[in-house]
Structure 1
């Protein structure tokens, strides 16, 4: 019998710890979550709580709209910043990039606290508007505050991905388009955006998934609004409705997974569905 190559034996050896890891940290928790969701007083009907409960359904819609708008805003800002930093060289550029990526080190609670310092009841923005005679502007504890927090939280991740994509673009393609009479808008539309489209979709998917499941920022700011992550927390801790919390968690995970899977299919293998 032909001996198995050493590389194949090594790969098979690594399959055991990999299988144990997947079993312990994914399959067993997910199986338990599914079992708990179906063990409530409504039985398997608990899986439909997201669409049968008006409150939960409105929370889902609000979460989807907030996540989508925050993602679009993050991508728009990220493209502008990445194009500027990728095409411009100036003293202190590396320091500026390091400062822009600093929020990567912040947990969601810190981001929420910063939004309160800016737009809370005693925030900096409110002090400015009051000094200008326009009253104290407070929006930290609303959808606008969550929107600002999600954009601030996701922007460094999007910017780093898009900056790497912009730097890999061939400048000769843009020069050729301009030599043929294309305007800057046409170059952006027909050359640059298609060139960075895979990275654009990848970073957008990750930003959307992050916003859908963000808890720390929502926990800090969401005093008068509901998002899905906060609803799950409330059902689990305050209402002791573990079955509903499990069903909502599964629904949240499925929605996010579908978005990431669709993005991978559209953009190909270059999209990293990690979030």
Structure 2
């Protein structure tokens, strides 16, 4: 009897020990799974960015004071900062407005040639920024289509490629495809029974759009708008192709680093650019999360 009474106790102890070791095994698996990503994160982001933060606190070559303080006190850097944020924010709003409507239409309608049209609209995603800038020049540059047409009609060249207008067109060109693909996916997952219920209660098309459709896809609009903003803030190839005289942060960083060897100012501008985009993405993520399920 003594022997048989000890067997259940041993089995229970083994089961308890196995249960207690299960979380440890899961933690070990998680560590091994995350180790490569953490190594890349530390080596290629955290360490360089920490170095940038420290370098930006050093004295600027032109002013002799901290580069961060120089950005806030010198007009040229403030104008560059405001211009970059304004252009990026405007591009995000216009891209979400135009491509949001187009994406919803494409998601809800079936017609001949739809797949070809979607492929054409999203084709700019395959182009790097340099190619996008070159396309803007072919449209609004000195030898572009608009200049040739205006020269033939009015005997003068109309150009916009080498200004903020050209930069806006270029940024908008590669922002629209991002919004279209995101909105199409969001509209396909939207519960259409909510729209039918709203119509059965007497709501017109505008009320259904305002009270059901827009709140339903609001998280997608916010997230893709933030991505467009972040992409425009840091886009370099398009701006560099259109002209280095444009006063925006990516070109200023390039100029301070390569032309003047002003590493402190280049680092400070990089940190400011990164912080602005990080705040925008975090804010959009927070707002999008709070709006999830709003139609219900």
Fold similarity call, TM over 0.5: yes
Report the Cα distance in structure 1 between the residues aligned to 2:153 and 2:212, rounded to whole angstroms. Answer: 45
Number of aligned residues: 271
Q: What secondary structure does 1:174 align onto?
A: helix
- Residues 99 and 179, structure 2, Cα contact 8 Å, conserved in 1: yes
In the superposition, relative to structure 1, how do residues 8 and 221 fare at CA in structure 2: closer, same or farther (>3 Å)? same
Equivalent of 2:257, from 236, 248, 255?
Answer: 236
Which residue number in structure 2 is paired with residue 141 of structure 1?
162
Q: What secondary structure does 2:257 align onto?
A: helix
Q: What secondary structure does 1:101 align onto?
A: helix
Q: What secondary structure does 2:213 align onto?
A: helix
Which residue number in structure 1 is paired with residue 206 of structure 2?
185
Q: What secondary structure does 1:60 align onto?
A: helix
Shift of 1:269: 8.3
Q: What secondary structure does 1:132 align onto?
A: helix
Q: Which runs of 5+ in 2 are unaligned?
A: 1-16
Which residue number in structure 2 is paired with residue 62 of structure 1?
83
- Residues 67 and 268, structure 2, Cα contact 8 Å, conserved in 1: yes
- Does residue 18 (structure 1) correspond to residue 37 (structure 2)? The answer is yes
Q: Which runs of 5+ in 1 are unaligned?
A: none
Which residue number in structure 1 is paired with residue 224 of structure 2?
203
Equivalent of 1:40, from 59, 84, 98?
Answer: 59
Which residue number in structure 2 is paired with residue 118 of structure 1?
139
Report the Cα distance in structure 2 between the residues aligned to 1:179 and 1:48, rounded to whole angstroms. Answer: 60
Q: What secondary structure does 1:47 align onto?
A: helix
Shift of 1:12: 2.3
Which residue number in structure 2 is paired with residue 155 of structure 1?
176
Report the Cα distance in structure 2 between the residues aligned to 1:118 and 1:157, rounded to whole angstroms. Answer: 22
Which residue number in structure 1 is paired with residue 128 of structure 2?
107
Shift of 1:183: 2.7
Q: Which moves more between the two structures, 185-194 or 229-238?
A: 185-194
In the superposition, relative to structure 1, how do residues 4 and 175 fare at CA in structure 2: closer, same or farther (>3 Å)? closer
Which residue number in structure 2 is paired with residue 251 of structure 1?
272
Please report the RMSD computed on the Cα atoms of aligned residues, expressed in angstroms. 2.0
Q: Which moves more between the two structures, 115-124 or 88-97?
A: 88-97
Report the Cα distance in structure 1 between the residues aligned to 2:199 and 2:34, rounded to whole angstroms. Answer: 53
* Bigger Rg, which one: 2
- Residues 215 and 291, structure 2, Cα contact 8 Å, conserved in 1: no
Q: Which moves more between the two structures, 197-206 or 77-86?
A: 77-86
Q: What secondary structure does 1:182 align onto?
A: coil
- Residues 129 and 136, structure 1, Cα contact 8 Å, conserved in 2: yes
Report the Cα distance in structure 1 between the residues aligned to 2:92 and 2:22, rounded to whole angstroms. Answer: 49
Shift of 1:84: 1.3
Which residue number in structure 1 is paired with residue 153 of structure 2?
132
Q: What secondary structure does 2:150 align onto?
A: helix
Which residue number in structure 1 is paired with residue 3 of structure 2?
none
- TM-score, normalized by length of structure 2? 0.85
